[in-house]
């Protein structure tokens, strides 16, 4: 049996959920990259490592704050967490 979550309606944003939500809204990562004149790899990279411009594009498109989509990288007051690769 699995454990019950305290708040099951809270969305957990991992790279798969972000990509799926972009697709649900009718776009792909490649579409967003082309629309913003970025290499397609930039948006894919943002799902696994800090990539400021791509993170901002994804955040704006999904209408979600950076800290919600990338909590390991951003604070609630939109400041980058350093070191960027820390787990906290």
Q: Which two tokens stand for residue 27?
A: 């776009």
Beta bridge partners of 80: 74
* Residues 22-73: tens digit of each pLDDT: 999 999 999 999 999 999 899 999 999 999 999 999 999 999 999 999 999 9
For residue 76, give the nearest of 62, 66, 86, 64 by alpha carbon: 66
Domain of residue 55, CATH code: 1.10.260
Q: What is the pLDDT of residue 32?
A: 96
The number of distinct structural domains making up the chain is 1
The position carrying tokens 């004149």 is 37
- Note down the domain range covering 34: 15-69
Would residue 27 count as lying in a domain?
A: yes
């Amino acid at each position: 049996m699995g454990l019950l979550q305290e708040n099951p309606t809270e969305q957990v944003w991992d790279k798969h959920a972000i990509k799926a939500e972009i697709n649900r809204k009718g776009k792909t990562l490649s579409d967003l990259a082309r629309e913003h004149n970025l290499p397609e790899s930039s948006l894919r990279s943002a799902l696994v490592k800090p990539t400021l411009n791509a993170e901002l594009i994804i955040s704006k498109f999904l209408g979600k704050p950076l800290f919600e989509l990338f909590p390991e990288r951003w604070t609630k007051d939109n400041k980058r967490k350093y070191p960027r690769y820390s787990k906290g």
